[in-house]
Amino acid sequence: TWNDISQVAAIVEAGHPKIQADPSQGSHFFQNLTSLGIVYLTLQKPEHGHLRWDWFERQPDLGRTAFLRHIQLATPLIVHVDGRTSEAVIQEQSKTGAGSP
């Protein structure tokens, strides 16, 4: 629901090798993201970037379905985005509060 994502800094939509789906394209959805300053990233192909799936698997879930896993982190992640190049990096915070490599 919208309440589950209304306070996020970024949403990452990742593809799956067995499913060739287009990224989400609902105009009302993107209007909400844009107006709230939420970054939307899509990784549909390997050349678009990667996620550390092993890191995600170590996080506790709030809920899980056949196609979705909902996690909530103890500390926020750091999101760096360059809108001119369409490049982004999302990092964990170190124990000192600064970004980790």
Say what the pTM is: 0.66
Tokens of 31: 């209007």
Give 13 or 80, the one with higher predicted confidence: 80
Give the three-class secondary structure for 91.
strand
Does residue 101 carry a pLDDT above 70? no
Residue 85: phi, psi to the nearest 5? -105, -5
By the 8 A CB rule, do 64 and 70 touch? yes
Q: Is the pLDDT of residue 57 over 50?
A: yes
What is the average pLDDT value for the chain, to the nearest integer? Answer: 78
Inter-residue contact 100 to 91 (CB < 8 Å) = yes
Q: What is the pLDDT of residue 48?
A: 72
